Structure 1
Amino acid sequence: MSIITPNVDKWKQVHAILAEQAGGGTETIDYQANDAMSELQRMLPDQVSLDNLHQLRRSQHSKIMALKSRITSLRAELVEKQDPGRMQETQRLISDLIGQVNDIREKAAEAEAIVTTITKDIQRLDLAKRNMTTAITALRRWGMLQQAHKELKELLVKRDYAPMANSIAAIDGLSTSLQALTTNPPVASVFKEISDVRTRVKDAVSHELDAFLLQDPNKPTDRDKVGEAYLVADALGSDFKAHAIERYVNTELREYRRIFAPSSEAGHLDNTARRFAWFRRVLKTHDEEHAPLFPPRWEVDRILVAKFADSTRTDLRTSIEGDRTPSVATLLEAWQVTLEWEAQMSQRFHKPFDKVVSDLPFGQASATVSSIFGESMKVFVDAQDKALSDMLSAYRGNRSRPSLEGASVESETPVSVLPSSTELFYFYAQILEQCRRYSTGRGMKDLAGVLAKWLRIYSDDVLIASMKKVETRPSMDGRPNLQEVKNACLALNTADYCLVTSTQLEEKLKDTIDLQFRDDVSFQAERDLFLGVISACLITILGELESACEPALSTVLRTSWSNVENVSGRSPYVSDLVGSIKSVAEVVRERVNQKRFVKSFADKAVGMIMTRYTAAVVRSRPLRKVGAEQVLLDVQAIKACLLEIPEPYTSSTANTYTRLVQKQTSQLETMLKVVLVPEDPPDGFVQNYCLLIGDKSFSNFQKVLDLKGTLRSNQQQLLDIFLSVTSSNPDLQDTSFLTTLDMDPENKSAAVASMVTRTDSRSNLSSQIGGPLRSETPKGFGDFKKLVSFAIHGQLTL
């Protein structure tokens, strides 16, 4: 069917007009004019809806008629509103309104002009009032100024200082307010007279004060009058006041400068205590006799202290820098009495001494007397350097060995560390405590450098030098040199003690020294040296153990295992080998303080002994079946001995060490078990090799045949079977522990020699010990007393 499209534009216009007149909406239109087609499709969605077309047309027709009626009414209303008469009336009303607004503006302007006129009159009256008040005040002040001037002249004639101070204060206050009137000649004349009178007053006061300061004992001065003169000086201004104070202070210290001049005997550094004793008497006289004469706010006593400090500091600098360098004892004594005097002055004025001499009410700021000694700390540091050199000279170089042996000999209570180390750190504690009292700045930094220097010297010239043997004993005497082991244990303990104590010494220094020098303090290089000493001691002990085991290992080397007919027990050499191991291990357990070093020794001892023993067994081939059984039995006895080296141990450490021993001995045991297997049948022998060794290396299999002593004629068949079996077994490895087995080892094992690399290396020692040296950072000393206690007893309770 076809649907007639309505005139959409026309409908839009109608809808817009109706919406504007109705306030934005129409009640009779229920479709959107901007989309008429959509509206028609909504009313006639399908063909079935055409059955209601007639009813729909009636409905739409009704709506159209309603719209037409509405349009007609709106047109009539529009014609009514466009009435010319109504428009004229509206224009007339607007014109009247504009006229009324203009009238209001004119009246407002008139009112503003009236208010402005009134305001100007009020301002003129206010100005006149202020001028009148100012004039009256000025006249009153002028009169008061003239009266005060007159009184001052009269008082000056009478030398009556008590009221003179008030008159001067009044004149100063009045003159300030009348200064602007000095352009008037009469006023300027009075001001000039006042200035002349002030000058005469200053002269009179100066004469009075000079008479007091330089008084004749036969002509005592009037103290009350002097006190009043100082009040006048206070009123005369800050410049004259400072002049009066300076005259007094210089007079009081004039005799001091004469007696204690740097060129005189009393001015030497060793007479520093006399300087302060003299000043205490002067200060006491000032407090008892002169202080009441001065206004309290002048703080003359503090200025006197500052002037004395400045003069003393200059004199002491001249003495210290003179031709004769003072001794350390003299320097420290002078420093100590200076600090004590400064502490007394700080207590007197309830503030630090640097504030006492710098924060002055009058005069130039000074510096502390003790600051001059800080510049001379080099004398103290050099003296400590020489003292350390003298103290350690008895233990250095050729004397280090006797001192070590003397300390490690058998006694009822053998020492655990060298006495020289505790003596060294005790001396360190003393000089650090002494330095802390005097300087925590550059002087302490320089002293820390000296301490580090002598730690290095102690490590090299005492500990390392003491371990050098005078002569070498024969390697085949069969007896371990336990004295050498004890020496090494003592040196090890001493190095560990120095390592720990130097760490805590560094922490204490950093806590004490000034912040700006804190990063410059470090003993890390010195601690590395002590770690190297510990490493060297462990290597020495291992070397002695190897030398002690050498006779037994030589016996293994000389044994013809192929001629052994039966196994009746462990071999005789085992007793010697086990005895040597036990004797050295017992000394190490008893003499080494730290168990971590015992563990390190045990770990390395197992590796060294098993390496040397395996090499001896290999060189003594062929073993044959019975010989292999005998060696296997001997290995069990050696293993049992090795397991007992580090006792007593904790369970966790024991388990770790047991696994290490099992690993070191299991390789030799496995190799011996392969040798035990008979060559016949050949297939069974090869299968056992693959099962126990687990590799397909032709050279390794050849090593086993050599150990068994297999005849050359029988080896080819076994080798062919080995190649056949291993080629078809992909699970076999290319290498095993036999790969590194040396069939022609040297007579001397490199087990210990390989460890002698850089003994001063931290990483080297850490690897030998098997872990970090310390599980936690050592706690610092709470004070120097604990440091001294630790230096003496070798232990610290924190």
Structure 2
Amino acid sequence: MDSNDVDDKDSGPEVQLNFPASVMSRIEELMGGTEQFDSDEFDAVSYINRVFPTEQSLSGVETAAARCEFRLAAVQHDIRRLVRAQHDQRIAGHEALLEAQKCISELALQVTDINKKAERSESMVRKITSEIKQLDCAKWNLTAAITALNHLHMLAGGAASLRALATSRQYKELVLPLQAIMEVLEHLECYREIRELNALREEVHAIRADLAAQILQDFKQAFTGAAAGAVSARTLGDACGALDALQPRARTDLLAWLVRLQLQEYEHLFSAEQEQAWLSHVSRRYAWLKKHLLSFEQTLANVFPAHWRLSERIAYQFCKVTRDSLTSLMAARRSELDCKLLLYAIQQTHNFELLLHKRFIGTEPNTETLEASGGVKEISFDDENETPEQTEGQNTNSSPWLGLIGSCFEPHLSLYIQSLDTNLRSLMDRFIQEAKTMELSEVSETGSGAGGVLASCADLFLFYKKCLAQCARLSTGEPMIELAGVFQKYLREYARNVLHSCVPHAHTHAHAHTLTVPALVTNLHTFLNDATHRYTKQEIAKITSVITTSEYCLETTVHLEEKLKEKVSPALANKIDLGPEQDLFHKMISTCIQLLVQDLELACDPALQAMTKISWLHFDTVGDQSSYITQIIMHLKNTVPVLRDNLASSRKYFTQFCIRFANSFIPKFIQNIYKCKPISTVGSEQLLLDTHMLKTALLELPSIGSEVKRQAPTTYTKVVIKLMTKAEMILKLVMAPLDNNLEGFVGQFLQLLPESTIAEFHKVLDMKGAKLSKTQLSALDALFKETSKSNNEISK
């Protein structure tokens, strides 16, 4: 064994310890640097010279040698010990391996023995179970044979007894044997290849067919034969039980015959040749069925089982016959139809269908009604409880009875739509006449002030609501599309002939009632351009009334469109579009607001003209605000509070008015500032003061003259500040000196007015009274364009 093997066996897990350099040097010093001996570059001479550098140190040579010999002896002892231990371990391992191989051999022998025993056990179990399976199969075959024989015996004996019972009309005693025989036939379905069994099966089917025919004949004899009543009611009742045990076809044939028999008299009395078959006598049809069902239930209802629901079947067939009869009658006598007669027939039919629904389904209609509230109120098309008929419709939406007869009237509902058109035409004529003679006191007030919604508007949409509810009960198909067209027609009519005629001076445009929608919009814009005088308070009240009414019409029209789409069949919903009418009301509101803006601007025009006539060059002192500003503020205080009160219910449109006025008036004020030339520095200061006072007044415009001070809308405030700041910057530029520093002035101009044009630059120079030659002006223009271009590039 070499020394490498010893080292390998003796080595354990290596643990690396890292000590500081000072510690390591001290250890080497104590150990005599033994780690060096392991190095391949170890030089013994150098080591000895390092350990014994002087002659005096040689005195310790013997001690060092003794120490080395002792260390060497210890190492040799360890090597011998490890070699002996390694030898002993190899011998013990070999013995353990031999012992394990011996155990494995013994275990293999035991496993082989177990497998042989298992195979023998399996063979024995297989032999035992094969005999049991044979016994089970024999038992199953024997049981099946006995059961089949019993079924065959029952079938053979039952067929004979069944025929005997049928011949003697013992229907009650026949039911149970018949059910038993039918169950037996089901069990014997797997033996169809046996000829004798097939013969018995065919015999049973023949008995059943004969029995069904016999029962039908008994009923015919009992109800229509010469010896009517020869078959007792008890026998007929038993026969009904026997029919339930037969195939469903037999019962269906009998029920169809019975229903036709019950309606023979009805079909004769109300045939097309009879006068009472016409719509004017439709209630007689329904009275006949009520009377007939009452008589039938009192005399014959006990004969038939309750689950047959014979009364319901008679009523259902009655509805189908009536629908077909009325359909053919109305097609043949269409010229005699009118709306009043059609609505009478529809109402009578609807009431009758509700009665059938209540009788055969049991839904009690809810007849809750809402009391009508006075005054102008929001017309909600979601309110379906306005009338009892609407409430009943809610509770019976899914009833099979509703519309069973009434569907025949749907192709003729155009008469109803035409009638609504006629009624709306007369209603609209009344509205137009009222609008022409309308005074301020006749405006329906929704708030505390004038300018409320016109009463005619609420009346129109209330009529629309009733029409929609009634038509939705009659049909959800094409008639609803026709109704939507009528609604659109009169919404446009109301806008152009009622609302337009309420606007002051609208009567000056001839033939207003013949205007189309585009022509109406053009007419309104022309009307804007024709405004040459101020409106009175009454005329302003009319304009604001048109605004609030148009807003009401707009919001209700949106709701009306949603309700129409909800009521109509889903396949037709995309055909309903009231968008053009909504746009028309939008334009009406916008035009009226613009009229009010022009009216206020017209009031302020004299003051603006007075501003341009002041000699701003000769001002020597700055005083209070000028008289023209006082006049403008006075007009604002006189006009805006009236508009605010009139538009109290339409606050957003009052805000629109303020914004439009600011966007229109302030640019006009700026244009008049440009006309104030030449102007001195003191005059510029005075004009700047006036501008600041006007800005303050405009910022307070929404609440001017009001005891309650509200903060102006942010949108409006931004508009005023932006435009009035431009006016102030113009005046500050006019006050800025040139001092032969034209380039600096151009830079200052573009800094204060970055969005200005070169034309505005020239206007400011004119206001300053600058005397520039053409060369200087051209150089300034070039500098303006260059500076403006560079500023734009920097901003980008």
Residue type of the partner of 1:274? Answer: R
Note the alpha carbon deviations across 1:59-85, whole angstroms, 9 max, x for none.
333443455567679999999999xxx
Could you say which residue in structure 2 is the equivalent of 1:791? none
**Most deviating of 260-269 and 291-300:** 260-269
Aligned-residue offset at 1:250: 0.2
Note the alpha carbon deviations across 1:489-508, whole angstroms, 9 max, x for none.
22211111112222333444
Distance 1:215 1:596, change over 3 A: same
Take 2:191 and 2:675, find their aligned partners in 1: how far apart are those partners?
Answer: 125
- Within-5 A mapping of 1:392-407: 392-393=428-429, 402=436
Could you say which residue in structure 1 is the equivalent of 2:767? 707
Residue type of the partner of 1:257? Answer: E
Could you say which residue in structure 2 is the equivalent of 1:422? 458
SS of equivalent to 2:300: helix
Indicate conservation of the 8 Å contact 1:610/1:665, yes or no.
yes
Distance 1:613 1:264, change over 3 A: same
Take 2:466 and 2:479, find their aligned partners in 1: how far apart are those partners?
Answer: 15
Aligned-residue offset at 1:474: 13
Residue type of the partner of 1:124? Answer: A
Note the alpha carbon deviations across 1:282-320, whole angstroms, 9 max, x for none.
221222111111122222122212211221222233344
Q: State yes or no: 1:489 paired with 2:544.
A: yes
Note the alpha carbon deviations across 1:303-356, whole angstroms, 9 max, x for none.
212211221222233344445164344334333333333333233333788988
Q: State yes or no: 1:503 paired with 2:514.
A: no
Distance 1:515 1:50, change over 3 A: farther
Q: State yes or no: 1:540 paired with 2:595.
A: yes
Could you say which residue in structure 2 is the equivalent of 1:596? 652
Q: State yes or no: 1:652 paired with 2:708.
A: no
Note the alpha carbon deviations across 1:339-398, whole angstroms, 9 max, x for none.
33333323333378898869xxxxxxx9833344455555444543454344334556xx
Note the alpha carbon deviations across 1:716-749, whole angstroms, 9 max, x for none.
7xx89x99xx99xx99x989xxxxxxxxxxxxxx
Residue type of the partner of 2:10? Answer: D
Note the alpha carbon deviations across 1:573-603, whole angstroms, 9 max, x for none.
6666555444432432232232232232233
Indicate conservation of the 8 Å contact 1:491/1:537, yes or no.
yes
Indicate conservation of the 8 Å contact 1:484/1:544, yes or no.
no
By relative contact order (CA 8 Å, sep 6+), the higher-ranking structure is: 1
Indicate conservation of the 8 Å contact 2:244/2:251, yes or no.
yes
Distance 1:566 1:404, change over 3 A: farther
Note the alpha carbon deviations across 1:586-623, whole angstroms, 9 max, x for none.
43223223223223223333443344344345435344
Indicate conservation of the 8 Å contact 1:316/1:372, yes or no.
yes
Indicate conservation of the 8 Å contact 1:495/1:530, yes or no.
yes
Take 1:574 and 1:410, find their aligned partners in 2: how far apart are those partners?
Answer: 38
Indicate conservation of the 8 Å contact 2:440/2:450, yes or no.
no
Gaps of 5+ in 1: 16-27, 33-40, 359-365, 736-798
Q: 2:75 aligns with which of 29, 35, 56?
A: 56
Take 2:358 and 2:127, find their aligned partners in 1: how far apart are those partners?
Answer: 75
Q: 1:205 aligns with which of 210, 215, 237?
A: 215
Could you say which residue in structure 1 is the equivalent of 2:328? 318
Gaps of 5+ in 2: 13-33, 48-66, 364-395, 510-526
Q: 2:288 aligns with which of 278, 292, 295?
A: 278
Residue type of the partner of 2:405? Answer: V
Aligned-residue offset at 1:244: 1.6
Indicate conservation of the 8 Å contact 1:416/1:490, yes or no.
yes
Indicate conservation of the 8 Å contact 1:182/1:188, yes or no.
yes
Residue type of the partner of 1:30? Answer: D
Distance 1:573 1:355, change over 3 A: closer
Could you say which residue in structure 1 is the equivalent of 2:279? 269
Residue type of the partner of 2:149? Answer: A
Distance 1:215 1:564, change over 3 A: farther
Q: 1:296 aligns with which of 306, 319, 325?
A: 306
Distance 1:218 1:549, change over 3 A: same
Take 1:553 and 1:96, find their aligned partners in 2: how far apart are those partners?
Answer: 126
Aligned-residue offset at 1:463: 3.4
Indicate conservation of the 8 Å contact 1:477/1:551, yes or no.
no
TM-score where L is the length of structure 2: 0.67
Distance 1:310 1:66, change over 3 A: same
Residue type of the partner of 2:766? Answer: D
Residue type of the partner of 2:301? Answer: A
**Most deviating of 495-504 and 287-296:** 495-504
Take 2:258 and 2:739, find their aligned partners in 1: how far apart are those partners?
Answer: 121
Take 1:427 and 1:667, find their aligned partners in 2: how far apart are those partners?
Answer: 53
Q: State yes or no: 1:619 paired with 2:688.
A: no
Distance 1:65 1:439, change over 3 A: same
Distance 1:596 1:447, change over 3 A: same
Distance 1:551 1:652, change over 3 A: closer
How many residues are aligned here? 676
Identity over aligned residues, as a percent? Answer: 22
Distance 1:53 1:404, change over 3 A: farther
Distance 1:378 1:215, change over 3 A: same
Aligned-residue offset at 1:540: 1.3
Aligned-residue offset at 1:143: 3.6
Indicate conservation of the 8 Å contact 1:283/1:301, yes or no.
yes
Aligned-residue offset at 1:140: 5.3
What is the root-mean-square deviation in Å for CA atoms of aligned residues?
5.6
Take 2:670 and 2:109, find their aligned partners in 1: how far apart are those partners?
Answer: 133
Indicate conservation of the 8 Å contact 2:353/2:403, yes or no.
no
Take 1:487 and 1:81, find their aligned partners in 2: how far apart are those partners?
Answer: 118
Distance 1:306 1:494, change over 3 A: same
Distance 1:50 1:572, change over 3 A: same
Could you say which residue in structure 2 is the equivalent of 1:331? 342
Residue type of the partner of 2:80? Answer: H
Aligned-residue offset at 1:251: 0.8
Residue type of the partner of 1:537? Answer: C
Aligned-residue offset at 1:561: 5.4
Indicate conservation of the 8 Å contact 2:480/2:568, yes or no.
yes
Take 2:397 and 2:563, find their aligned partners in 1: how far apart are those partners?
Answer: 26
Could you say which residue in structure 2 is the equivalent of 1:369? 405
Q: 2:318 aligns with which of 308, 316, 320?
A: 308
Q: State yes or no: 1:116 paired with 2:125.
A: no
Q: State yes or no: 1:470 paired with 2:508.
A: yes
Residue type of the partner of 2:508? Answer: V
Indicate conservation of the 8 Å contact 2:280/2:341, yes or no.
yes
Aligned-residue offset at 1:470: 1.4
Residue type of the partner of 1:280? Answer: K
Residue type of the partner of 2:664? Answer: M
Indicate conservation of the 8 Å contact 1:273/1:337, yes or no.
yes
Take 1:318 and 1:299, find their aligned partners in 2: how far apart are those partners?
Answer: 29
Could you say which residue in structure 1 is the equivalent of 2:160? 146
Take 2:193 and 2:95, find their aligned partners in 1: how far apart are those partners?
Answer: 94
Q: 1:549 aligns with which of 589, 604, 613?
A: 604
Residue type of the partner of 1:603? Answer: I
SS of equivalent to 1:540: helix
Q: 2:474 aligns with which of 424, 438, 441?
A: 438
Indicate conservation of the 8 Å contact 1:233/1:244, yes or no.
no
Take 1:464 and 1:578, find their aligned partners in 2: how far apart are those partners?
Answer: 31
Distance 1:592 1:408, change over 3 A: farther
Note the alpha carbon deviations across 1:178-205, whole angstroms, 9 max, x for none.
7889988887887777677666655543
Indicate conservation of the 8 Å contact 1:408/1:490, yes or no.
no
TM-score where L is the length of structure 1: 0.67
Note the alpha carbon deviations across 1:550-575, whole angstroms, 9 max, x for none.
44444445555567899998766666
Aligned-residue offset at 1:252: 0.7
Take 1:603 and 1:427, find their aligned partners in 2: how far apart are those partners?
Answer: 37
Indicate conservation of the 8 Å contact 2:659/2:719, yes or no.
yes
Take 2:122 and 2:744, find their aligned partners in 1: how far apart are those partners?
Answer: 130
